[in-house]
């Protein structure tokens, strides 16, 4: 799988950065609804981007937990603008 191509998507980047920033600021991950609203995307679109981030190892998700997103061991290799 070509992770660089997947993770260079600007929406995937926005989702990851929002999650990372919220965890750094609040010491608490955001809910799916909060992420979707902040990134101006629907929940199904959000799930696709979270799947990409999780497959890469940038995040981990705990099922059935409202704030169950944790940062992973790998920071995504986003292309620099």
Give yes or no for residue 2 having a pLDDT over 80. Answer: no
Tokens of 36: 């979707």
Cα(16)–Cα(67) distance, rounded to whole angstroms? 15
Give pLDDT tens digits for 8-57: 789 999 999 999 999 999 999 999 999 999 999 999 999 999 999 999 99
Matching residue, tokens 């992973």 = 72
Which pLDDT score is estimated for 8?
Answer: 78
3-state SS, residue 46:
helix
| Mean pLDDT score, 55-71 | 92
The model's pTM: 0.85
Determine the topology of domain 3-71 in CATH.
Answer: Arc Repressor Mutant, subunit A (1.10.10)
Residue 26 structure tokens: 């609040």
Q: How far apart are CA 61 and CA 63, in angstroms?
A: 6
- DSSP SS3 for 60: strand
Domains of the chain by residue range:
3-71
74: alpha, beta or left? (left if phi > 0; alpha if psi -120 to 50): beta
């Amino acid at each position: 799988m070509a992770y660089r191509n997947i993770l260079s998507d600007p929406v995937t980047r926005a989702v990851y950065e929002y999650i990372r920033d919220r965890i750094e600021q609040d010491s608490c991950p955001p809910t799916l609804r909060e992420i979707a609203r902040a990134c101006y995307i629907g929940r199904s679109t959000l799930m696709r981007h979270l799947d990409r981030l999780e497959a890469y190892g940038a995040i981990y998700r705990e099922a059935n937990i409202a704030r169950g997103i944790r940062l992973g061991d790998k920071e995504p290799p986003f292309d620099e603008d």
